[in-house]
């Protein structure tokens, strides 16, 4: 698959403000690429979403293992560290003030469906235009109008509506990688955590999907573009605006 060319087409059709990125999910015993930048290079630990921003805004090839992450919810949700009991994540959510009762927190935690320990050992992220390896997932950030265009391109060849599950408070990292296991695309609304820690803008959300769907997505974008569904969205201009009284009075004085 020609990832650089497909990335260029995405930029042309969607006018993205950050690089579309590829994500490689590392399983047990797989190592990070030698050139991947780890937080240890800067003597820090990070939240995974910070390194997503490094990939999509700085254009870097970055990698993260469990030892690089100090975001406990991320470590628990992605199975980078083992939870002795899933209820401890629900307790954390309750203590953060996200739910009215332990029962509600337990219900939401179950719906989040955290990954089991060892489901992945690390993550590699990079701008799609560079693609030093075949990605497992493609992640594209943008504003809602751009997401609508991506949806139109995706459904053109699939007829499948795109789901979105939102907590509002965090763990967008979990929602971002989930399509690797579900095989389905998803819209993700970054929550409080990512916007605080990773600098994700108030207007941004993201589209994540298995990389095998990239060519058909871009083809769907091109076909719908040809039919007039485009971004930027064209405001309708073929109408005559009404004249307010001062404008009409001025117009009457002109010769």
d(CA 235, CA 152) in angstroms, rounded, equals: 18
In this prediction, residue 252 carries a pLDDT of 94
> Is there a contact between 112 and 172 (Cβ–Cβ < 8 Å)?
no
In this prediction, residue 168 carries a pLDDT of 81
d(CA 204, CA 146) in angstroms, rounded, equals: 10
> Is there a contact between 200 and 139 (Cβ–Cβ < 8 Å)?
no
Average pLDDT per block of 10 residues along the chain, 255 residues long: 96 96 94 95 96 97 96 95 91 94 94 93 96 97 97 96 86 94 96 93 97 98 96 93 94 93
116 phi and psi angles, rounded to 5 deg:
-70, 155
d(CA 14, CA 232) in angstroms, rounded, equals: 8
DSSP letter string, 127-191: ETTT-SS--SEEEEEE-HHHHHHHHHHHHHHH-PPPP----SSS-HHHHHHTHHHH---EEE---
Structure tokens at 239: 């109408």
Domain boundaries, the chain: 3-82+117-234, 83-116
Structure tokens at 130: 């560079």
In this prediction, residue 167 carries a pLDDT of 84
In this prediction, residue 143 carries a pLDDT of 97
In this prediction, residue 165 carries a pLDDT of 83
- In Å, what is the CA distance from 59 to each residue of 52, 62, 131, 149, 165? 10, 9, 11, 24, 28
In this prediction, residue 239 carries a pLDDT of 94
């Amino acid at each position: 698959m020609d990832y650089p060319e497909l990335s260029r087409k995405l930029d042309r059709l969607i006018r993205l403000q950050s690089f579309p990125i590829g994500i490689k999910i590392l399983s047990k015993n797989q190592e990070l690429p030698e050139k991947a930048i780890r937080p240890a290079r800067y003597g820090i630990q990070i939240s995974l979403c910070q390194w997503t921003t490094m990939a999509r805004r700085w254009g870097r090839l970055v990698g993260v293992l469990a030892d690089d992450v100090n975001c406990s919810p991320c470590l628990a949700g992605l199975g980078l560290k083992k939870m002795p009991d899933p209820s401890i994540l629900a307790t954390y959510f309750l203590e953060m003030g996200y739910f009215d009762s332990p029962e509600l927190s337990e219900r939401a935690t179950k719906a989040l469906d955290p990954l089991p320990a060892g489901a992945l050992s690390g993550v590699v992220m990079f701008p799609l235009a560079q693609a030093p390896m075949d990605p497992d997932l493609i992640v594209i950030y943008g504003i809602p109008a751009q997401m609508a265009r991506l949806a139109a391109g995706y459904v053109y060849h699939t007829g499948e509506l795109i789901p979105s599950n939102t907590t509002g408070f965090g763990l967008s990292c979990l929602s971002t990688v989930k399509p690797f296991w579900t095989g389905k695309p998803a819209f993700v609304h970054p929550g409080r955590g990512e916007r605080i820690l990773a600098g994700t803008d108030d207007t941004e959300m993201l589209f994540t999907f298995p990389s095998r769907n990239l060519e058909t997505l871009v083809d769907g974008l091109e076909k719908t573009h040809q039919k007039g569904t485009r971004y930027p969205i064209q405001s309708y201009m073929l109408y005559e605006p009404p004249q307010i009284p001062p404008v009409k009075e001025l117009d009457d004085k002109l010769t």
